[in-house]
A and B are shown apart, each in its own frame.
Chain A
């Protein structure tokens, strides 16, 4: 591969959430507006869930 990418854990998770949310939005809803709203909702749940999980892991570690 020509391209080599080094993403941090956080940025990798945000990129993952972004693209997965787009596909979720398109495939799980019928109307354009609903797709957009659902994609935004999924992205928010991904990011907030990740943020909470990170804090839980930090608390378990300390």
Chain B
């Protein structure tokens, strides 16, 4: 019996190398709400500012090009995926919804680029969130 217990404890995986800290939960959340925020609260000032500028610029340029901000929907699959991408921008997405931005009908062909800019800015923000999490758990400096 004692032998089987020893064997069980040996088989059990070891604790994670990087402990889950409060920062590991807070950094991605802040990074979602404010692009680059997850890096800024971890004192990665330059990286955080570059992420903020890049994601904010892409989102704003998308809106300025009359891009569409997707709303929650259960219609076309691409529309649903568009919403998932948009909501990745976090605070920017909610601001756009509150201000009713991105609801104009697309009148020019290039406006479709604007829609893609907005979706991609959300997806890039998700990448930034994951990066902030990796920094928080010590996987990346």
Contact = CB atoms under 8 A, between A and B. Distances in A.
Interface of A: 1, 3-9, 12, 15-16, 19-20, 22-24, 26-27, 30
A24 B130 CA distance: 12
Contact of A20 (B101, B108, B120, B140): B120
18 contacts: A3-B60, A3-B63, A4-B66, A6-B110, A7-B65, A7-B113, A12-B65, A12-B113, A16-B58, A16-B116, A19-B54, A19-B57, A20-B54, A22-B54, A23-B51, A23-B124, A26-B50, A27-B127
Contacts of A1: 63-64, 101
Nearest to B104: A1
Interface of B: 47, 50-51, 54-55, 57-58, 60-61, 63-66, 101, 108, 110, 113, 116-117, 120, 124, 127-128, 130-131, 140-141
Contact of B110 (A7, A19, A30): A7
Nearest to A39: B50
Contacts, number: 61
A27 B113 contact: no
Interface centre among A1, A4, A8 (most CB of B within 10 A): A1
A16 B113 CA distance: 9
Contacts of A6: 65, 108, 110
Contact of A30 (B51, B55, B116, B140): B140
A9 B65 CA distance: 12
B58 A5 contact: no
A39 to B, nearest CB: 9
